[in-house]
Amino acid sequence: MNLLGIDVSGTCATFSRLCYFGAPWYSVILQWYRQQRSDHYRYPTSADDIQIVYESKNYFVVNKDDLVPIDSFDAPAQVNVTQQVKKWFHKRETERFLKQDPPATEEQAEQWSKSLAQKVEDIRYCHRLDLGTSGCMCYARSASASYLTYKAFIDKRVLKYYLALVHGHLHAPYSIFVNVPIGENASCYGRIMCTDDHPHCTAAKPAQSHVDVLEHGDYDGKPASKVLVRILTGKRHQIRLHMKYLGHPIIGDYLYTDPIDYKPHRIMLHARSLTIHTEQELIDALAKDPFVTQIDPKWKKTKTILPVNRW
């Protein structure tokens, strides 16, 4: 990127990293910066732009877009996922109510409006995804439903698969089991994490992941692989650190690549599927694979090792 004839790409990348940890408006800076570098950048322009991939009387699962914060606490002036879900639900229920026959009386409409406002207020997210990660994210429609998902996470009755594009061609004839603890990097500002082999790692906790290689190809002319990752634990930035540990960091990961990989329009990490065994119901959701040439022309598959549609 040139500013008055001066290349400021590296400066912008570093500034974006600092803003990520130093201010609540970090996502606006990073979103603006990456938008300049991509002709096919997808970012929701309004709260109406949302994809629901699973719905029941107790839960919603949305296909979260990358660089969209979860709630207003993360970025007050920006579109956020919680706002999207609540607005979508309110709009849909209102349309259904207005279409009913015979039409409701004024008193019935007032009661319904109060009931709907409470239902919207009760909607809450059950877990989190990193800002740059897209894919399946679950919302509960009540406090009791939220508690049941919390219990499912505690009891390890949750199955989560992620897709990622990583640097280089990862060769493995079988699933790779990564059992490397993760802790905070005491030498960095903000919550930068690291594996326990780092000299400044503190309070490391167990972290396990299974990695399967799905495809080999090229991203922006450089060797890359598409991998499927199943996480057995849920530590902060776990997949990003475990892929770095294997020597194949995630493309676009501006935190855990050296030099900083700021050129791609996003972090190539996507929550592909989510299965939660609650005592109330089985939540089973699948989000579309965004890492295909039709969506991102820079990714060109050259070899299929395992079919993506299997998951």
Query: What is the model's pLDDT at position 30?
Result: 55
Domain range annotation of the chain: 51-304
Region of poorest pLDDT, from 49-53, 261-265, 298-302 = 261-265
How far is residue 127 from each of residues 68, 72, 74, 152, measured CA to CA in Å?
Answer: 15, 16, 15, 11
Q: Residue 290's closest CA among 267, 262, 257?
A: 267
DSSP string, 58-114: SEEEEEEPTT--SSTTT-TTS--HHHHHHHHHHHHHHHHHHH-SSPPPHHHHHHHHH
Region of poorest pLDDT, from 78-82, 186-190, 212-216, 228-232 = 186-190
* pTM listed for this prediction: 0.85
Q: What would the pLDDT profile of 161-182 be if each residue is shown by its tens digit? A: 999 999 999 998 889 999 999 9
Is 60 exceeded by the pLDDT of residue 8? no
Q: The tokens of 29 are what?
A: 């800076």
Contact 178, 242 (CB under 8 A): yes
What CATH fold (topology level) applies to the domain 51-304? Answer: Pseudouridine synthase (3.30.2350)
Give percent of the chain with pLDDT exceeding 70. 81
Region of poorest pLDDT, from 15-19, 104-108, 221-225, 280-284 = 15-19
Contact 240, 185 (CB under 8 A): no
Mean pLDDT of 243-253: 95
Label residue 25 by pLDDT band (50, 70, 90).
very low
Rounded to whole angstroms, the Cα distance separating 255 from 115 reads 44
Is 50 exceeded by the pLDDT of residue 26? no
- φ and ψ at residue 222, rounded to 5 degrees: -115, 145
Label residue 15 by pLDDT band (50, 70, 90).
very low
Label residue 191 by pLDDT band (50, 70, 90).
confident
Label residue 254 by pLDDT band (50, 70, 90).
confident
Contact 262, 245 (CB under 8 A): no
**Active-site residues: which are they?**
130
Query: What is the model's pLDDT at position 47?
Result: 61
Label residue 11 by pLDDT band (50, 70, 90).
very low
Rounded to whole angstroms, the Cα distance separating 19 from 15 reads 6
Query: What is the model's pLDDT at position 12?
Result: 46
Mean pLDDT of 206-213: 96
Query: What is the model's pLDDT at position 31?
Result: 54
Is 90 exceeded by the pLDDT of residue 46? no
Q: The tokens of 14 are what?
A: 């570093």
For 27: left if phi > 0, alpha if psi spans -120 to 50, otherwise beta; the answer is: alpha
Mean pLDDT of 120-140: 94
Measured in whole angstroms, the distance separating CA 125 from the mean position of its chain's CA atoms is 13
Query: What is the model's pLDDT at position 125?
Result: 96
Q: Per 3-state DSSP, what percentage of the chain is helix, strand, and coil (rounded to 5)?
A: 25, 30, 45
Measured in whole angstroms, the distance separating CA 91 from the mean position of its chain's CA atoms is 25
Q: Residue 63's closest CA among 135, 161, 164, 163?
A: 135
Contact 75, 25 (CB under 8 A): yes
The residue with tokens 């993760």 is 182
How high is the mean pLDDT of the chain?
A: 85
Contact 305, 215 (CB under 8 A): yes
Query: What is the model's pLDDT at position 263?
Result: 81
Rounded to whole angstroms, the Cα distance separating 74 from 47 reads 16
Taking the alpha carbons at both ends of the chain, their separation in whole angstroms is 38
